[in-house]
Structure 1
């Protein structure tokens, strides 16, 4: 048997990657060591120190690196994490913010300008709710711990006012004190989870808002992407598509597992009924590939350019390994 390429993958652990984690699925020609790594830690280590050969990474932070001709990584059209983010907008209960239009001329926090959840929601607020993003005072910094910095620095356009809160305060504390009117964050504030009445969601019925967004756009926002060292692809051009194939092979059986009424593969008693209901609305929500996600990707690239992540509107060949943009047909 020929020697296989030894690679280390850093990523969260999902049902759609479980078979890669156990080794049941391996990329052809590769022995993949899968290190289950918590997401904030993973993104910081990969963004700052490039610790992993292949890794799950923030889509927003990755797009922000594309200005650098010496960037270490290139993306593959594998999207291990997707989520609607209307649920991620929190407001101070005493602020005069009860609908999206009320965010104009307020102060809004987000942990990092490059956070993908925030990138999406800023774009959605502007495009679908008419919120003037330039009227908002934007603040970045640690959600629960002071001193958080950007993994991938972004220079927002001059008409967007973005400042860091400093190293002695947190966004959660600012929201509780009403020094912020609102907060966009992928991870919910601890005070909200503990039932503090001073924080509420902008959309209490966020699922209805998110379903309405999907029905209007057919978009399920992409949060994370898989990146691989550029040097590895230069040395082993076959690697990109072999990784794509393996991630797809690991993902494909999951929908069948969820719909199987013989057993519950998760701790949700009505798992199969819920999966059937969701599939009827969303179809195959975690599909990979550029062609399968063209509308979503084009929208994301538009938002990224508008918000200063990129200096021009990127084409797909600038974002992903070119060999993954097409496939053989029979």
Structure 2
């Protein structure tokens, strides 16, 4: 049978169309995409460089200034979430707000004994904190919850301490409970916690970063616990808490598009931690004795002390929730399962 050129082209187009339809029908589904904001932590460099990638998830990892990243994680609708305060999230849940979903990835953890400062020459120790006037940089921050947990660990009733909330090195806009408990007040207008400490108005204060007037030898502000490592190691041995302070949150709309992203993120960040820990044991070191610190931490806390996921962190998160309730930040006692309810359902 003779086939005209026009018939040949038409048949070829029909076959090509059928083939294209077949390929489209059998094509793999699109990989979900997620954009998250986080502080520029060196531990997550394998994620940032792309050496570690979540399985079947196109992750855009936005890094930058911590304050800005925390703001963007919850307030910037252009991204899907990111690093955020655990305290702010548990208070959000207490109000019934489930617009953000917590995934058990913990970008920031920190022990707290190192963060307690006093005047040089002041005889202050773990046993003599009760009944004192102690400053704190923020009442409702995650770090502040762990600071008060440390004070309870030392055996003191936090309601018997006069807490003064203010900026570390300068006046700051701070919030306190409304109405404030009788043992909580704001720093006087125009005064910083450092000013109040040096003047003798307060006995000590907690701050997440060393104040400008701090110097371990020359003062006038020094740490209450110069050998904070020993205090923190005992705290960990007794409490089994390496205090998590920040967690990864995902907007509800982004979460509902694909609820499997939580597990993929946990797996990826655990892989990143493993890669980072291996790099810490190789040259060049950040300090001449870094390898001793790395080995000592693993010996005391276990090789996976930075592990992500709920089961490895359930106890610490539950302690955090209980402490927030005891501090009066919550109206009801929430648990780790409440904190990660959506993650568990997925």
Unmatched segments (≥5 aa) in structure 1: none
TM-score by length of structure 2 reads 0.82
Determine whether 1:82 maps to 2:101.
no
Alignment of 1:201-280 (within 5 A): 201-260=223-282, 263-264=283-284, 266-280=285-299
Per-residue CA deviation, residues 240-282 of structure 1 (Å, 9 max, x unaligned), is: 222222222222222222234xx23x42233334322221111
Determine whether 1:294 maps to 2:321.
no
CA distance in 1, matches of 2:213, 2:77: 33
Determine whether 1:121 maps to 2:141.
no
2:25 equivalent in structure 1: none
Checking the alignment, whether the CA contact within 8 Å between 2:99 and 2:252 is kept in structure 1 is yes
2:24 equivalent in structure 1: none
Structure 1 residue 108 displacement after superposition: 1.3
TM-score by length of structure 1 reads 0.85
CA distance in 1, matches of 2:291, 2:222: 31
Change (3 A) 1:172 1:35: farther
CA distance in 1, matches of 2:227, 2:64: 32
Checking the alignment, whether the CA contact within 8 Å between 1:25 and 1:246 is kept in structure 2 is yes
Which protein shows a greater Rg? 2
Determine whether 1:313 maps to 2:333.
yes
Change (3 A) 1:268 1:287: same
Structure 1 residue 182 displacement after superposition: 1.0
Unmatched segments (≥5 aa) in structure 2: 1-27
Change (3 A) 1:118 1:214: same
Structure 1 residue 289 displacement after superposition: 1.6
Change (3 A) 1:176 1:308: same
1:106 equivalent in structure 2: 132
Structure 1 residue 314 displacement after superposition: 0.9
Determine whether 1:184 maps to 2:203.
no
CA distance in 1, matches of 2:88, 2:300: 30
> Which region of structure 1 is more displaced relative to structure 2, 243-252 or 300-309?
243-252
- Name the Cα RMSD after superposition: 2.7
Structure 1 residue 155 displacement after superposition: 5.6
Classify the secondary structure of the residue corresponding to 1:98.
coil
Structure 1 residue 5 displacement after superposition: 3.7
Matched pairs, number: 318
